Amino acid sequence: MAHKTRRIQVGSVAVGGGAPVSVQSMCNTDTRDVAATLGQIRDLAEAGCEIVRCAVPDREAAEALRAIRAACPIPLIADIHFDYQLALIALDAGVDGLRINPGNIGERWKVREVVKACAERAVPIRIGVNGGSLEKELLEKYGHATAEAMVESALGHVRILEDLGFDRIKISLKASDIRRTVEAYRQLAACCDYPLHIGITEAGTTWSGTIKSAVGLGTLLYDGIGDTLRVSLTGDPVEEVRVGWEILKSLELRERGPVFVSCPTCGRCQIDLIPIAEEVERRLHDLPKKITVAVMGCVVNGPGEAREADVGIAGGKGQGLLFRHGEVVRKVPEAELAEALIEEARRLAEEE
């Protein structure tokens, strides 16, 4: 059963309270370079990014947020460590959310200033606990950064905000290993109803990070935990967005573009299927409609899968059958199979 959370608003995007799980990413450009950052944000938005975050390491970066916000097509979050003045500049620049840990800001009056500015603008704060930077006292108490220590850290930050009457809160608890992350989120979900931003931090390169994120986030989402997600990859952040969407699509939590089905091939396959499947996926990935596209190697499982899909092919000897909504459209020579399937999928998308 889904973990029930309260809803907050990050600009135009609702997070929690049954809202669709949103896909986030973070720019890896220098925030002070407004043109480069906006260019990346546009690429991210086109790939389906719904909320974007920028690092704010100094005053110049905080001031650049004004120009970025003015042209940013999606809600913008400022990621700030320690410095309350940077948070105030970012809020003044019009950001839609802050990621800052109140326990790291310092004196109470500084936290109060930030919370007051957030409350006036209805801007939420994400508390982002990272297993790699836990408070010294908690490391001493628990021996190392355990799931319990991460949860205690998050609740400590939450209490600071609640004591100031602020509850537009979102929480993340990221560790670089799946077991600890999943355990921490489960424990936190059992004891609070703030919306949860989920992710496996420092997950790795596009290949290994995709697998880790799919396993970790998939486990949480299958349990109904998670209101917004970020896949962290050492690579192009656009890939983070694509992976995030594929995770949500595979659990049928969101829909975006086509769903691909293809067989692994085996000794029964009599066409060169792998390049066909790759070409079909590459050329159809930006199709705006949810259409199931099947690429199957032979007549054993092929026609069944191809029939159940909206469009599909099932290979034979040097040729294949093209299906649409379970009906055979025609026989197609092997060399034309990819093109025929792509055309049929595009036609169907236009008609529907």
Which one, 220 or 276, has the nearer CB to ligand SF4?
A: 276
Q: How many CB atoms lie within 10 A of CB 193?
A: 12
Q: How far is the CB of 53 from ligand SF4 (least distance, A)?
A: 42
Q: How many CB atoms lie within 10 A of CB 304?
A: 15
Coil/strand/helix, residue 130: strand
Q: How far is the CB of 291 from ligand SF4 (least distance, A)?
A: 20
Residues engaged in binding ligand SF4 (CB under 6 A): 263-266, 268-269, 296-298, 300-302
Tokens of 109: 């009056």
CA distance 233 to 350: 34
Q: Are 294 and 262 in contact (CB under 8 A)?
A: yes
Q: How far is the CB of 343 from ligand SF4 (least distance, A)?
A: 22
Which one, 64 or 294, has the nearer CB to ligand SF4?
A: 294
Tokens of 329: 């459209």
Binding residues for [4Fe-4S] cluster: 263, 266, 298, 305
CA distance 268 to 272: 11
Which one, 266 or 335, has the nearer CB to ligand SF4?
A: 266
Provide the edge-to-edge strand list for the sheet that holds 327-333: 259-262, 292-296, 311-315, 319-324, 327-333
The residues, ordered by sequence, that sit 6+ positions from 206 with a Cβ below 8 Å of its Cβ are 233, 234, 235, 236, 239
Binding residues: 263, 266, 298, 305
CA distance 31 to 33: 5
Tokens of 14: 């609702």
> Cα dihedral angle (348, 349, 350, 351), rounded to 10 degrees?
50
Please give the DSSP secondary-structure letter assigned to residue 325: T
Q: How far is the CB of 332 from ligand SF4 (least distance, A)?
A: 17
| Residue sitting closest to ligand SF4 (CB) | 297
Coil/strand/helix, residue 299: coil
Which one, 193 or 278, has the nearer CB to ligand SF4?
A: 278
Q: How far is the CB of 312 from ligand SF4 (least distance, A)?
A: 11
Which one, 45 or 274, has the nearer CB to ligand SF4?
A: 274
CA distance 24 to 307: 35
Q: How far is the CB of 305 from ligand SF4 (least distance, A)?
A: 7
Which one, 258 or 303, has the nearer CB to ligand SF4?
A: 303
Q: How far is the CB of 232 from ligand SF4 (least distance, A)?
A: 34
Which one, 284 or 298, has the nearer CB to ligand SF4?
A: 298
